[in-house]
Chain A
Amino acid sequence: MERHILVVFPHPDDESFGVSGTLALYAEQGVPITYACLTLGEMGRNMGIPPFANRETLPSIRKKELEDACRVIGIGDLRLLGFRDKTVEFEDEELLADRIHAIIAETNPSLIITFYPGYSVHPDHDACGAAVIRAVERIPSEKRPVVHCVAFAKNCEKEIGKPDIVRNVSAVIDKKIAAIKAHRSQTEGLMKAAAKYGGDAIARFKTERFWIYTW
């Protein structure tokens, strides 16, 4: 049983696609979850046909969607860190690590979930993972929480091997689908396509893969 889980991702919806099944399973066991979300996905591109959002209204729409998704998953503590989408890699690395380290110190998690730096495709994902690792490295090695990383770059298995954890989340798939759908501005078209083509798209959501970060 985990004591407390800290999740750190840069965009609203990263949590739902990648790890919401895992989080829902832990939440059902009563494990408290803190989610530090670095940005509001301000630079998202899905605006709809006809457009339901514009560049200036998108952040507030995505904030509301994120709050809804957290409720569905069972995330009780959502922290919005106020960085801007697509700029995380350009921030001061020490500043990012400071912010994350402060939340680690406050919540004392036994498990941290983030992206695997270098293997997570979006520059914000890689920068987020790197900042988390940097923050955890400040903690003496014997006191560090365990870090589980999500990776999905095409070369990731070739370079970092098979995932250490392959978790079947079928038991909470309804919650996971609901969490993804909560991010309606980003996922409505995708979920319609998934329903139309069925099979693989939904099946893929039933498995969540993690690499355990080792120093």
Chain B
Amino acid sequence: MQPIRIEEVQKALNRFANQDVYLHLETTNGAYASHHNEGFFAAGAYIRNGRIRFSRAKIAGNGPYRVGLKLDLGWVYAEGLTDWEVTDKGQLLLAGHDYEGKLAVALQLSDEPF
């Protein structure tokens, strides 16, 4: 993956608008966060291959970045995004890596199921 370039990511997001696409969205502190630090409140969520359709997509911020996707009846949102990649299959991968290189958030779009 490469550090996010906002104009290029915006173009890549636009390509998925107004059609059924598959979403991978995750956020996590890691399964050991509360084991290593008992005062830490671990939380996370993920959805894999959620089928969505959005009419509008925008990347915002000065890095780390935020992305919002406007659905017919709601929103998809992620913050803390740092890196991006378009795979050979044309999938858009966005991820946020912390200061140790650990994935903290991911937002990915694909024409086909992941």
Are the C-beta atoms of A51 and B93 separated by less than 8 Å? no
B-contacting residues, A34-55, CB 8 Å: 43, 45-51, 54-55
Are the C-beta atoms of B83 and A51 separated by less than 8 Å? yes
A-contacting residues, B75-114, CB 8 Å: 83, 85, 87, 91, 93, 95, 97, 100-104, 106, 108, 114
Chain A interface SS verdict (over half)? loop
- Enumerate chain A residues within 8 angstroms of B102, measured Cβ to Cβ: 45-47
User: Given the complex of chains A and B, what is the CA–CA distance between A46 and B32 in angstroms?
Assistant: 13
In-complex Cβ contact of A45 among B28, B38, B83 (8 A): B28
> With contacts A46-B102, A49-B101 known, is A54 near B32, CB below 8 A?
no
Are the C-beta atoms of B103 and A45 separated by less than 8 Å? yes
Q: Does B31 reach chain A (CB closer than 8 Å)?
A: yes
Q: Does B43 reach chain A (CB closer than 8 Å)?
A: no
Instruction: Report how many residues on chain A are interfacial, defined by Cβ distance under 8 Å.
Output: 19
> Which chain A residue has the least Cβ–Cβ distance from B1?
A51
In-complex Cβ contact of B1 among A43, A54, A122, A154 (8 A): A54
Q: Does A189 reach chain B (CB closer than 8 Å)?
A: yes
> Which chain A residue has the least Cβ–Cβ distance from B106?
A55
Are the C-beta atoms of A55 and B93 separated by less than 8 Å? yes
Q: Does A121 reach chain B (CB closer than 8 Å)?
A: yes
Q: Does A106 reach chain B (CB closer than 8 Å)?
A: no
Q: Does A142 reach chain B (CB closer than 8 Å)?
A: no
Q: Does A56 reach chain B (CB closer than 8 Å)?
A: yes
Q: Does A163 reach chain B (CB closer than 8 Å)?
A: no
Are the C-beta atoms of B32 and A55 separated by less than 8 Å? no
Cβ contacts B4-46/A at 8 Å (1 or 0 each): 0000000000000000000010101011100100100000001
> With contacts A54-B1, A55-B106 known, is A86 near B31, CB below 8 A?
yes
Are the C-beta atoms of A122 and B32 separated by less than 8 Å? yes
Q: Does A123 reach chain B (CB closer than 8 Å)?
A: yes
**Chain B residues packing against A (C-beta within 8 Å):** 1, 24, 26, 28, 30-32, 35, 38, 46, 83, 85, 87, 91, 93, 95, 97, 100-104, 106, 108, 114
**A/B interface sample: 5 pairs, CB < 8 A:** A45-B102, A47-B101, A51-B1, A54-B93, A55-B93
**Chain A residues packing against B (C-beta within 8 Å):** 43, 45-51, 54-56, 86, 121-124, 153-154, 189
Which 8 pairs, one residue from A and one from B, show the smallest C-beta to C-beta distance? A49-B101, A45-B102, A51-B1, A122-B31, A45-B103, A48-B101, A121-B35, A55-B106
